Amino acid sequence: MKRRLFRLIAIYLLFILIFILQKPIFMAYYHSLFDNITISDWFKVIWNGLPLDFSFAGYLTIIPGILSIVSVWTNSELLKKIFQGYFILVSLFISSIFILDLGLYDYWGFRLDSTPFFYFFSSPKDAFASVTIGLLLVGFVSMFIYAAALFFALSLTLGKESLKLPFHRINDSLIFLILTGLLFIPIRGGFTVSTMNIGKVYFSNNQRLNHAAINPCFSFIDSFMRQTKFDKQYRLLEAEEADARFAKLTQKPSSADSQKLINNTRPNVVMIIMESFSSYLLQTLEADTEITPHVDRIANEGILFTNFYANSFRTDRGLVSIFSGYPAQPTTSIMKYARKTQSLPSIPKSLKAEGYHLYYYYGGDADFTNMRSYLISMGIDNIVCDKDFPAGERLSKWGAHDEVVFDKLWGNLEEGKLQSPFFVALQTSSSHEPFDVPYNKLKDERLNAFAYTDECIGKFIDELKTSPLWNNTLVVLVPDHLGCYPYNIQNESAGRFKIPMILSGGVINEPARINTIGSQIDIAATLLNQLDISHEEFTFSKDILNPGSPHFAFFTMPDFLGWVSPEQEEVVFDCSSSQVINSKGSAEKIEENLKNGKAYLQKLYDDIAKR
């Protein structure tokens, strides 16, 4: 009895010890992010992270608890092999989650969730395109070494000798049953009303320290658990208050009051979706050095929206925001749910109903993140992607470089293969990790990739200007999501989400700078209103150019929301810890913005649940 009891306790404590040791390893690996913290902060990270460690160790100990009950009735060698098999699976799981989290945190700035697995199962090739082969090899080797070490440590709890069968089997079975049942106390997080959640480990104003305290295995599983029952998530305000605020935030004034920027309501529309561009790349906005001279020139010659924001951090969220005017979600991506996305409105759908022909150009895999399903459900049935380029042109990890894709589109335009009026979207990819481009202008690898895409855009626009198409074409340039430059900007900063939006083409009345605040979800209403097409079905989208519209920017990241008012007063709210992590403006305005953001997110999840 004692040996079995000690073994079960040892397994539970060993899991906790493993999770505890992961925290200083994580912090040491990212030492540059924690170089200004004290020794006490290291201990606080470990101490405050214990609730999640206790909880997930409890989950992992349930199976050993059940096997301990079985061991009371048999000492078969098969039981020991089952124990060992379970330890192998657990070791591989813990190891893969930890190493993957360690590798991705630098890119995303939050602990591991279900996102990379959604990417992996939609397109394994593209899921690994952001990293080098060398880094992948190091990751896999590290993963198996760590898994082997974990398995060895866990196997020690089994001992070498078989356990004798006890005399009081029923009593012993009941004791182990009770002990296994008691594991639900740390799993649940005690006896209080609130159950265990990531926010319980938050203790600091420094978000990096809070992130370090999170158990990545718990974060990963918790993310998967939040892929259903959307109407139960983010109940941040009373329903009546959320409804009232949302109604004001989504009201649609008369379209007649909107400012008109173009001289033709049925132009061809070319939309260039620029991978990871930010306002900090353009000298016309935030940059202090020349990085993207061609986009700067296009902005100065056209209409530049100077106070514009991305709604999220990944392409799958960004495309839905741009095309469907649908806000990005912090815990999921609606693009993965084909049944739900088919009910969304979209710019392509609206244009197709008006006789437009739809085309999409992308050098990568159109099946990545379920993109093809979404595009087709939006009415786009002419999709050019990696498979449409010869192998000799697919030299990027993502497929074909931007230059090749632009050349393909320009060639098809020259040959008249696109039927007018047309809507064509071209999605770039070369300014994505690993920033490997056939171009050497800037020493900084990342900035060089942006400069390359900039030159590709400039060349295409110059070619388009030489064509008769130019005078009847509207060009829209907008990034797919927040930018990956500058390096030192924090995720919880509203400035991280600032991006350019530019209108160009021969149908532009005159160059202008629009300072009204807006975001990607407003492109649908703004563009359609310029074309005299109704945008009533776009619940969340509002016309930036209509002075009667409610003007604001909303954005999300796992697991926070951000809100920026027209006066540039902002608030960023961490939904896990239920605390404001960044704010700017008067206390009264911050509170008002926070309530608006909460209402908006709550109603967004209500909407997802109904689709």
If asked whether residues 300 and 183 sit together in one domain, one would say no
If asked whether residues 432 and 290 sit together in one domain, one would say yes
Q: Is residue 249 part of a domain?
A: no
Domain membership of residue 133 as a residue range: 2-225
If asked whether residues 103 and 157 sit together in one domain, one would say yes
Instruction: Please give the DSSP secondary-structure letter assigned to residue 571.
Output: E
* 133: helix, strand or coil: helix
Phi first, then psi: what are they for 297, rounded to 5°? -65, -45
Instruction: Please give the DSSP secondary-structure letter assigned to residue 532.
Output: T
Q: Is residue 49 part of a domain?
A: yes
If asked whether residues 215 and 333 sit together in one domain, one would say no
Pure H helices in 531-586? none
In the listed set 225, 248, 279, which residue is the last one of a domain according to the structure? Answer: 225
pTM exceeds 0.85, yes or no: no
Q: Is residue 588 part of a domain?
A: no
Cα distance between residue 592 and residue 580, in whole Å: 13
If asked whether residues 271 and 184 sit together in one domain, one would say no
Q: What are 451's two structure tokens?
A: 């400069």
Residues of the chain with pLDDT under 50: none
If asked whether residues 393 and 282 sit together in one domain, one would say yes
If asked whether residues 305 and 158 sit together in one domain, one would say no
Quote the radius of gyration of the chain (alpha carbons, Å).
27
If asked whether residues 208 and 276 sit together in one domain, one would say no
Q: Is residue 597 part of a domain?
A: no
In the listed set 164, 199, 225, which residue is the last one of a domain according to the structure? Answer: 225
What strands lie across the sheet with 553-557, from one edge to the other? 553-557, 560-564, 570-574, 579-584
Span 543-563, pLDDT tens digits: 999 999 999 999 999 889 999
If asked whether residues 208 and 281 sit together in one domain, one would say no
If asked whether residues 75 and 194 sit together in one domain, one would say yes
In the listed set 517, 543, 569, which residue is the last one of a domain according to the structure? Answer: 543
Confidence at residue 123, expressed as pLDDT on a 0 to 100 scale: 59
Instruction: Please give the DSSP secondary-structure letter assigned to residue 311.
Output: S
Residue of 604, 450, 560 lying closest to 211 (CA atoms) = 560
Q: Is residue 261 part of a domain?
A: no
Span 58-73, pLDDT tens digits: 999 999 999 999 888 8
Span 276-311, pLDDT tens digits: 999 999 999 999 999 999 999 999 999 999 999 999
Structural domains counted in the chain: 2
Q: Indicate which CATH number applies to the domain containing 385.
A: 3.40.720.10
If asked whether residues 98 and 213 sit together in one domain, one would say yes
Confidence at residue 124, expressed as pLDDT on a 0 to 100 scale: 61
* 562: helix, strand or coil: strand
If asked whether residues 431 and 293 sit together in one domain, one would say yes
Exposure string for 377-413, b = 16+ CB within 10 A, e = fewer = bbbbebbbbbebbeeebbebbbbbbbbbbbbbbeebb
Instruction: Please give the DSSP secondary-structure letter assigned to residue 283.
Output: T
Contact 129, 397 (CB under 8 A): yes
Q: Is residue 611 part of a domain?
A: no
Q: Is 79 left (phi over 0), alpha (psi -120 to 50) or beta?
A: alpha
Confidence at residue 261, expressed as pLDDT on a 0 to 100 scale: 97
Q: Is residue 356 part of a domain?
A: yes
Q: Is residue 137 part of a domain?
A: yes
Cα distance between residue 559 and residue 554, in whole Å: 14
